[in-house]
Amino acid sequence: MIFDRVIHNGTIITVNPDFDIIEKGAVCIKDGRIERIEASDGNLPLPEAEDVIDVKGGIIMPGLVNTHTHLPMTLFRGLADDLPLSVWLNEHIFPAERRHINPESVELGALLACSEMLLSGTTTCCDGYFFEDHVAAALNKSGMRAVLGQGVIDFPAPGVPDPSENIKNAVAFTKKWQGISPLITPSIFCHSPYTCSIETLKKAKAAAAENGLLFQIHVAETKAERDQIQSEHGATPVQYLDRIGVLDGNTLLVHGIWLDHDDIRIIARRRAKVSHNPESNMKLSAGISPVADLLKNGVTVGLGTDGCASNNDLDLFQEMDMAAKLHKVDALDPTVMDARTVLKMATIKGAEAIGLDRDIGSLEIGKSADLIVIDTAQPHLVPMYNPVSHIVYAVRGSDVRDVIVSGRALVKDGNLTTIDLEEILERVTEISRIIKKNKGTLR
């Protein structure tokens, strides 16, 4: 057999069920899938292939999975920092979206986000935003894998001026993108329990369930949200969502900060998943999610960056480092959130959280060839005693050299192959000048 691509001479971190690590190995790819994974001592000839990548002692690992993004919000990176979430959202972000979000800006912002994610090793993302059809077009152009949710909210929003059309609009999006590309899976994203009515939440979940799609929602992000839902419905946000029947194995709860023990038990019992976004949570002073308790109760937790307006980057390596350290200091326990656990959250557990773990998230024969190569010939990566520890605590997104999705090279030797980055940067800079000019009048 002649393989399409052979990647060799590196340490392979499989993240398979046994967490096998092959110190000097090769990954063979055929028709977009992993055909062979094997140790190679350098004495035997390599399998024949159309393309051979020598990683020169670097790391070969699964592509990272970002379980929560708002991709077009790269346009608002740094627009309004150091503010409480309610002020940041209501007085800055929502007004900016009303003025500047349109099909063209959404696609451009999403392409900028794809560029950033690919260059830092993310091969799959889970997004929720408005004009999601144009986000999907950008992802399709980039070659990335994604779960994309059309945003649903009970007031006028970009692309949906009439809130009564929000579910109809979301369903139309999911129907259009089901089957268009094997790399894009449509979804429905309700903003939150406090911006969507009971009727909206139930209808959105029913529409997602009818088509076997992921239902996403921000939940228990702030103390104010918890107190509001408690006051209005006599229950915590999680208890409220459980009461109205929207929690199950195809529900992704984003943030999940203000959770009590009963909430965690409910999430575990319903087999709902959680997206943990530590940097965004910290920056907005929303709180610290009880991730260690979620994991102890068997809840699947993936890692996410959130949007660039509240992070302000999409580097999942940095997110891993922050997640591990945040929970150690919170628990005053250095053994909490060890490197292997956090790496799983950014790969196989992230894939599981968005329903793609059968195909991605680990390097296993038969799975899609979604993988990245890390250049370890860097001062901050030498010496390397434990590659897993290095990935979480030392590697930076800028250390990623090659990125492959479904067997296709999207980044080669640190350069994008599907996106004209120079053009994207130039166009975004033009839009940012307009946004900056209008910043004082956004409210």
pLDDT at 443: 45
Q: How many domains does the chain have?
A: 2
Same domain for 180 and 205 = yes
Q: Which of 126, 119, 161, 94 is nearest to 309 (CA)?
A: 94
Q: What is the pLDDT of residue 432?
A: 93
Q: What is the Cα–Cα distance from 193 to 279, expressed in whole angstroms?
A: 22
CATH code at position 380: 2.30.40.10
Average pLDDT over residues 392-421: 98
Query: Taking the complete model, does pTM exceed 0.95, yes or no?
Result: yes
> 438 versus 405: which is more confidently predicted?
405
Decide if pLDDT at 289 tops 50: yes
Query: Does the structure show a pLDDT above 50 at 434?
Result: yes
**What average pLDDT does the segment 121-136 reach?**
97
Q: Please, which pLDDT band fits residue 116 given cuts at 50, 70 and 90? A: very high
Separation of alpha carbons 386 and 199, rounded Å: 51
Per-residue confidence (pLDDT) for residue 379, from 0 to 100: 98
**Mean pLDDT of all residues in 317-345:** 98
Give strand pairing partners of 301. Answer: 274
Return the bridge partners of 7, or none.
27, 53
Class of residue 254 by CB neighbours under 10 A (exposed 0-12, middle 13-18, buried 19+):
buried
Per-residue pLDDT, 438 = 78
Same domain, 405 and 270: no
Q: Give every CB contact of residue 164 below 8 A, 6+ residues apart in sequence.
A: none
Q: Could you tell me what percent of the chain has a pLDDT over 90?
A: 92
Q: Do residue 7 and residue 72 come from a single domain?
A: no
Q: State whether 260 and 405 are in the same domain.
A: no
CB-CB contact of 60 with 25 (8 Å): yes
Sign of CA dihedral 300, 306, 310, 315: positive
Range of the domain at 276: 64-353
Say which residues have a Cβ less than 8 Å from residue 260's Cβ, sequence separation at least 6.
236
What pLDDT shows up at residue 89?
83
Lowest-confidence segment of 80-89, 237-246, 286-295 by average pLDDT: 80-89
What pLDDT is recorded for position 298?
98
| Amino acid identity, position 251 | T
| Same domain membership, residue 323 and residue 376 | no
pLDDT band for position 90 (50/70/90)?
Answer: confident
CB atoms within 10 A of CB 234: 10
Task: Classify residue 426: in a domain, yes or no.
Answer: no
Q: Is residue 340 part of a domain?
A: yes
Q: How confident is the model over 168-193, as pLDDT tens digits?
A: 999 999 999 998 999 999 999 999 99
User: What percent of the chain stands above pLDDT 70?
Assistant: 99
Strand partners, 254: 218, 275
- CATH code at 280? 3.20.20.140
The pLDDT of residue 33: 98
Same domain, 115 and 214: yes
Q: Would 434 be classed as within a structural domain?
A: no
Same domain, 313 and 387: no
Average pLDDT over residues 7-21: 98
- Are residues 295 and 409 both part of a single domain? no
Quick one: tokens of 21?
Answer: 């690590």
Above 50 in pLDDT, residue 442? Answer: no
Domain boundary among 353, 383, 407: 353
Mean pLDDT of 230-252: 98
55 with 69, same domain?
no
Q: In this structure, are strands 301-303 and 273-276 parallel, antiparallel, or unpaired?
A: parallel
Q: Is residue 10 part of a domain?
A: yes
Do 388 and 313 have their domain in common? Answer: no
In the structure, what pLDDT confidence band is assigned to residue 26 with cuts at 50, 70 and 90?
A: very high
* Same-domain check for residues 213 and 274: yes
**Which residues does residue 195 pair with via DSSP β-bridges, in sequence order?**
none
- The pLDDT tens digits of the residues spanning 131-156 come to 999 999 999 999 999 999 999 999 99
Q: Using H for helix, E for strand and C for coil, what is the string for the chain?
A: CCEEEEEEEEEEECCCCCCCEEEEEEEEEECCEEEEEEECCCCCCCCCEEEEEECCCCEEEECEEEEEECHHHHHHCCCCCCCCHHHHHHHHHHHHHHHHCCHHHHHHHHHHHHHHHHHCCEEEEEEEECCHHHHHHHHHHHCCEEEEEEEECCCCECCECCHHHHHHHHHHHHHHHCCCCCCEEEEEEECCCCCCCHHHHHHHHHHHHHCCCCEEEEECCCHHHHHHHHHHHCCCHHHHHHHCCCCCCCEEEEECCCCCHHHHHHHHHHCCEEEECHHHHHHCCCCCCCHHHHHHCCCCEEECCCCCCCCCCCCHHHHHHHHHHHHHHHHCCCCCCCHHHHHHHCCHHHHHHCCCCCCCCCCCCCCECCEEEECCCCHHHCCCCCHHHHHHHCCCHHHEEEEEECCEEEEECCEECCCCHHHHHHHHHHHHHHHHHHHHHCC
358: in domain: no
Domain match, 176 and 309 both: yes
Q: What is the mean pLDDT of the chain?
A: 96
